[in-house]
Chains A and B, each alone.
Chain A
Amino acid sequence: MFEVTETLQLEGVGYRWPGRASFELRVPNLTLARSETVLLLGESGSGKSTLLSLICGTIIAGSGRVCVAGTDIAALSAGQRDRFRAEQIGLIFQQFNLLPFASVQDNILLPLRFAPERRNRLDDPKQETARLCHDLGLPVGVMSAKAGALSVGQQQRVAAARALIGMPPLIIADEPTSSLDAATQATFLKLLFAQSRAHGTTLLMVSHDARLSSQFDRVIHMTDIAQTTRGTA
């Protein structure tokens, strides 16, 4: 892996959703350093989801550059972008993160199936799965359980383990705690921070909850980094 100081860099990015409802997002500059934990605050409709899609490469900016771990993702083909996402980014959603019919182990190992480099970083992926489950405070024997049988808090920890496995440089968490109660929320964040710091991973968490701010290295507001325009087509 080549060394870059910026894990994520957006420059003069503009994106306009195709279709009737015209919505345009502009992000002049956003940079995340290596190992940085950043909280991105924004109201719903502020363009957070669009921004995350741009970073993950499922949509491509109309102008500007989106660089993840030093690579301009616009330069990649669609297939390469999918592979790149699997290799570079661990994702945690708000809820329903897991394939409910699959075992916890299969859920955690799933990204490695599409990211051979991430897989090769591990000597024994199953052992790493067990370690992550243990470190994230999941009960012994949870690996073979069906993911759908777990509590929501446990499911989010499994999702965290899935994002962390194979040490991707960037973890994106999209309101991962919004479906958890306060106590579970605190425990989850503590565990997530501990693991991402241990791996030197950059963490970008999106939320509308400003109370979490104190735990992050840096807090940015959607309104500060981006302009959105809405109009009629």
Chain B
Amino acid sequence: MSVDLEVDLGGLQLRNPVMPASGCFGFGREYGEYYSLDELGAVVVKATTLYPRLGNPTPRVTEVTGGMLNAIGLANPGLDEVLAEELPWLAGQNVPIFVNVAGDTVEDYCEVVEQVSRSGLAQAVELNVSCPNVKLGGLAFGVDATVLRGLVEEVRKVCTLPLFVKLSPNVTRVQDLALAAACGGADGLSLINTLIGMQIDLTTRKPVLANKTGGLSGRAIKPVAVRMVYDVAREVDLPIIGMGGIYSGRDAAEFIMAGAWAVEVGTANFTDPYACPRIIAELRSFMQEEGIKNIEEIRGCAL
């Protein structure tokens, strides 16, 4: 049985619903040495800020049971280099590009989004308002509905590409933030970013990460992520990209049943560099086994 994995993500045609998550895939070059990137539904690149960022002191990654903590701190080469060196290469790989954008101020976000829009090198923007590892910006915009709506409204004015807002799970009611982003003019939502966590080294008796806290990702967060996708899908009528602990085609199917239109794969890339193409193949097999002709048949079926 041939199955159709194509997804229309609010006007953006993806050949399948699986894309690597921001921060877990650089700008595509590294995993491009392992497989052809045109197998992917899209690539979400590392958070890009107006100016280069070195990120937090090391150690900034550590393993925990069933997952990992990271406190990279939005290290990236900055907008100019991303536009000059990274996106032109990735644009030649025949895969839609989502540029994840972060900033310290509304002006920063707008400047980056405007230039990315104008560059003609990207197909969508993912607004990062949920990084738990930086003091300014990031999460500061993602936990207050009024602040978030204001930011999305301003960015919307300069964004000519489909605009996705990546939501934080570190809030009481994620639906409220989802609604705020929708009211601000978002075309879609991605969720969830990492959950704030900590690990203490019993020998040094101090936190392992130099930043002390870090974002929890991996298998451990999947049930939380599925629940949040479900909650948002019930209240907000926008395309959702679901993520959080996706390691298999069946995990991806679970998010789609919870209401996601597409999924992002993060930590799984570190465990298995071929995770994304494997998940696509597994999703196809799952659909064949279950007699699902079109992936859209199961979208939100659990709601």
Binding partners A and B: no
On A, residues with C-beta under 8 Å from B are none
